[in-house]
Amino acid sequence: MSGSSSSSTWPVHEYRVVPWTTPPDVRGSDGRRPNVKERMLTEITVEVPPRIADVEVQLTPALASQCREVEDAIARLDARYGDVLTGLTAFLVRSESVASSRIEQVHADLDDIARASVAHEATQEARMTVAAAGAMDILVRGQEPGGEFSPEIALTAHHRLQQTDRWNHSHAGRYRDMQNWIGGSDVSPRNAVHVPPPPDEVEPLMADLAAFLNRDDVPPLAQAALAHAQFEAIHPFVDGNGRIGRGLIAVALRRRRVATQVVVPVAAAMLADVDRYFDTLTAYRRGDAAAMVSYLTRAAAHATTEAAVSAQRLSAMPQQWREQARPRAGSGAALLIDELTAHPVLDATAAQGLIDRSAPRTYEALERLTECGVLRETTGAARDRVWVAVDVMDEIEDLDERIGARSLPPKHWR
């Protein structure tokens, strides 16, 4: 496998012509019916990914060295902060889920996401982002370090992602039984940029992908990159493929014990230049696997560097909050400060459970920390209020911006 975007030994996808009928009464999301050319469409060309369970992964010495260097950096981040900073994993899961959702054009304000995370009234986009965080958490916790990967982990995570989706809840947690496509129109694959394999190919292809993920003879970052690209090529679900597929990167690194505690927030790098990300996935389908490995290695390097900065900032926050609020030792406010990096979003019930104080004392703590700017109340209501730790939420946005700035090409290349 070459280290550039040139051709490689990786097998290309098979193009297969299959019959197609556009239902005459189907309607797109905009309400329109199929046009004449869509109604006359009788066959489509699908892309069937190769089986990769036993394909040899060949990296140039330079690319293999880059993989090892970044894997070592991820492992250092995991070892230094994963056990001692309890809020880091939740923070990175939240950050990764926000960026991954935004790649799919699911945009939600962080305060709205906070309200949705405690079952408060919120926008559909916020609820979808919270569901993505829940799915990522299932993927990470469901994969034992050194254990065997099972497609059931992806199915369970997909159920969490889609179970409350207004359009696709009936497909949650199961492989698609219909043809899907990317691009084109809502009603037919005509002019689509990618038409994945027919539905009867999905389950065997996912079993093959699981076998690839369970290998230990492939550099972990390369394995994560190729597994992600293969998953996106299969597109096994009706919806939610991008968010679950990017989550597989964390699964692969956890299984190989590179990152057993933290999640590397690579989606922020992808979000910074979505076109380059999608172009690299297309290159993979054309047989250029090295481009995908190189791309993820660079993205992970940027994400790991900036995640370490966030870890340092998170670890310093409790002391900064104590100086800011000057709570009495043992008070509700002091106890709550110790919990905020791990629980930056909370309502009164959650806060009371964390500090084990009466409801009046809990409200006193919340009001004290709000008055001094440690917390911000997000609803503006007198009842069912939701608070966020200001510095933690700001750091999520800042982390995404820093990774994005690192990941963008120089201006004269744009």
Catalytic residues: 235
The reply to whether 242 sits in an annotated binding site is: yes
Q: Which tokens go with 323?
A: 């100086």
Q: In terms of Cα–Cα distance, which of 293, 311, 299, 314 is closest to 403?
A: 299
Q: Which of 397, 378, 398, 396 is nearest to 387 (CA)?
A: 378
Rounded Cα distance between 331 and 326, Å, is: 10
Count of CA atoms in the C-beta half-sphere (13 A) of 267? 29
192-194/182-183 β-pairing: antiparallel
380 known member of a binding site: no
244 assigned to a ligand binding site: yes
* 276 marked ligand binding residue: no
Residue with tokens 């660079």: 298
Does residue 361 have a known ligand-binding role? no
Contact of 103 with 271, CB cutoff 8 Å: yes
Contact 375, 104 (CB under 8 A): no
- The alpha carbon of 268 is separated from its chain's Cα centroid by a whole number of angstroms, namely 9
Angle between helices 390-407 and 86-103 (to 10 degrees): 60
Which of 227, 232, 230, 215 lies closest to 251 in space, CA to CA? 227
115, 379 contact by CB (below 8 A): yes
Cα–Cα nearest to 77, from 389, 236, 301: 301
Which positions make up the binding site for ATP?
A: 239-246
Which positions make up the binding site?
A: 239-246
